[in-house]
Amino acid sequence: MDLETIIGLEVHAQMNTKTKMFCACDNDAWGKAPNTTVCPVCMGHPGTLPVPNKAVIEKAVRSSKALQCTVNKHSHFDRKNYFYPDLPTGYQISQYKFPLASHGIVKFSITDPKTNASEPSECRIHRLHIENDAGKLTHTAVGSLCDYNRAGTPLMEIVTEPDLRSSKAASAFVEELRRILINVGSSEADMFKGMMRFDASISLRPKGETKLYPRVEIKNLNSFKSLEKALNYQERVLRKLWEEGKAPTGEVTVGWIDDEEKTQMLRDKESAADYRYFPEPDIPPLELSDAFIESVTAAMAKLPSEMKAEYTASGLTQAEATMLVDSEPLRIRFDSVNTVFKDAKRASSIILTQLPGFLTKHGKTLSDAPSAEALSELAEAMKSGKISNNAGKDVLEKMVVTGTSAAAIIKAEGMGQVSDDATLKKLVEDAVKANPEAIESYKKGKTQALGAIVGAIMKQTKGQADAKRVNELVLAVI
C-alpha cells in the first residue's frame, strides 16, 4: 500500500527572561539547589496574584514575528486545570482560544548527510502561545522528589500545521526553529538542559487522499535524535497496522522510552474539555497596541535562513554558512574580518579554519579567542601588505596564545613584509647566483625550477618577502 506520512509538532521552548513569568523569582534555576528559586506566587499560595512579565510578552512577540506569524492584538490567558505533583497551583496559566500569535511559516532545508545536497522545505505555524512551566519530579527508589524551581518559568508553545512528511523533515524543522529562537534572543534553547521539548503527532494515509486519519501523539521528546527515532518507530508500527487492515480508529498518546527505543501507550488522547479551560480571572486580557508591536520588532536581526543565503551568495559553502549562522561569536569575527578583506573565502580561511585550529592546538575555546576588533586589525595588516599571508598565520597563532594585539606582535617580532625593490633585487641577485642549476633547468623549459629560487628567498626572509614582486624580479633577471 502506498502510504503518506503526516507529521505535526508542538514545541515547548523555555524563555530566557531574568525573572519568571508571573513573579520576580530567578528564572535561571540551572545548577541551583532544589526549591531555592521559589516564592508564594509560583508556589500558588492563597491570596497571591500573578503579574505578567513584560519581557516575556516582548520576546514572544519578537519570536512570533520571526516565525512570520500574525501577532494578535487581543489575546488572553486561560487556566488549564489538572492535578499533578509538580504543579503546585493545580492549574497551568496558558492561552487557549486567543493565542498571542497565529498563521506563520518557517522555511528550512533538509540536508542529505551522504551527498550534502539540501532540499528546500517549509512548515506552516498554526499558533504560538505563552504559558508557565511546571516543576520537576525525580523518581528515586525511596520515593519521588519535587523541585519547584522551574515552576513558573515562561514557555512558548509553538504548534505547527501537519505539513511535515518525514522524520528527517521534522528534525530539520526543529533545528531551524531552534536557530530562529536563539537568533531572536528569546530562548537559549539548550537541548542538554531540556530547554526545548517536543510532542510529535503522526498519522498515515493512502497517497492521494487529503483527509487526516486519527493520529498518535508522542509526548516529551527532548532531543533531535529521539524525535527522529520515535517518529521512525511509530511510522513502522502504523505502517504495519495499515497493511494488516487495522489502521487506528481513535487518537492515542504514547511516551517514548529512550533506552528501549520504543513507544509505550500512556492513555487515550485527552481532549480540551478534560482540562476545563476557563479565562484566567487574575490577569486582564492582553491588549497590544500597534506601537508596542512595532517598537519591539523594529530592530530585529535577519532570519538565520536569510543570513545563510547571503553567506552562500558571497562564495561560502553550505557547511561554512551554517557554521557562521549557528555560532554568533564566529559570525561576529567573520563579519569583521570580511569587512576588511571583502573576500569571503579569505575571511573564512582565517576564521573557520585557522582560528579553530589554533584554539584546539593550544587547549582554548572560542571564548578565549581574539576579539572581532583584534582580528580586524590583523586583517588590515595583511591587506595593506604590511605582513604576508604566511606571517599573518603566525601572528594569529601568537594572538591566540598570548592575547596581545597583532600590532604589538608584528613590532616585537620585527615582522613586516619586505617589499622595497632595492632589498628584493639584492636578494634575487644573490639567490640567482647561488642556484645556477635551477636557472639552467628553467632555461631548458622546466618552469617549476623558478619555484626553487623564489622558495630560497622566502626561506631567507622567513616568509616576509613580497612573493609576487620576487617572482617578477626573478623573471626580469634571468
Q: Taking the C-alpha atoms of 23, 28, 32 and 35 in order, what is their torsion angle to the nearest 10 degrees?
A: 20
127 — alpha (psi -120 to 50), left (phi > 0) or beta? beta
Least Å distance, CB 49 to Zn ion, is 12
Picking from 12, 477, 78, the residue whose alpha carbon sits closest to that of residue 277 is 78
Least Å distance, CB 285 to Zn ion, is 23
User: Beta strand 154-160 with 118-132: parallel, antiparallel or unpaired?
Assistant: antiparallel
Residues 21-50 that bind Zn ion (CB under 5 A): 23, 25, 39, 41-42
Least Å distance, CB 170 to Zn ion, is 35
Residue 130's beta-bridge partner residues?
156
302: which DSSP letter?
Answer: P
Residues 362-401 that bind Zn ion (CB under 5 A): none
Q: How far apart are CA 178 and CA 162, in angstroms?
A: 19
Least Å distance, CB 166 to Zn ion, is 42
Closer to Zn ion at the Cβ: 42 or 432? 42
Binding segment (CB under 5 A) for Zn ion, from list 19-27, 93-101, 217-225, 352-360: 19-27
Closer to Zn ion at the Cβ: 49 or 298? 49
Binding segment (CB under 5 A) for Zn ion, from list 18-26, 64-72, 373-381, 428-436: 18-26
Residue at grid coordinates 487529503: 210
Least Å distance, CB 150 to Zn ion, is 11
Closer to Zn ion at the Cβ: 50 or 99? 50
For residue 143, with 0-12 CB atoms within 10 Å meaning exposed, 13-18 middle and 19 or more buried, which class applies?
exposed
Radius of gyration of the chain (CA): 30
Residues 42-101 that bind Zn ion (CB under 5 A): 42
Closer to Zn ion at the Cβ: 42 or 101? 42
Tell me the DSSP string of 346-371.
HHHIIIIIIHHHHHHHTT--GGGSPP
Closer to Zn ion at the Cβ: 23 or 56? 23
Compute the C-alpha angle 69/321/337, nearest 5°: 115
- The neighbour count for residue 119, using CB atoms within 10 Å, is 12
Closer to Zn ion at the Cβ: 42 or 449? 42
Q: Draw the binding track, 159-198, toward Zn ion (x: CB under 5 A; -: no contact).
A: ----------------------------------------
Q: Draw the binding track, 307-346, toward Zn ion (x: CB under 5 A; -: no contact).
A: ----------------------------------------
Least Å distance, CB 38 to Zn ion, is 6
Closer to Zn ion at the Cβ: 17 or 171? 17
What grid cell was written down for 247? 489502521
Query: In this structure, is the dihedral angle defined by the CA atoms of residues 322, 327, 329 and 332, taken in order, positive or negative?
Result: positive
Closer to Zn ion at the Cβ: 35 or 404? 35
Least Å distance, CB 14 to Zn ion, is 16
Least Å distance, CB 42 to Zn ion, is 3
Closer to Zn ion at the Cβ: 148 or 198? 148
Least Å distance, CB 240 to Zn ion, is 48
In 288-367, DSSP assigns E strands to none
End-to-end CA distance of the chain: give it in Å, rounded: 78
How far from 165 is each of 12, 219, 240, 336, CA to CA, in Å? 21, 19, 18, 40
Binding segment (CB under 5 A) for Zn ion, from list 16-24, 89-97, 139-147, 348-356: 16-24
Residues making contact with Zn ion (CB under 5 A)? 23, 25, 39, 41-42
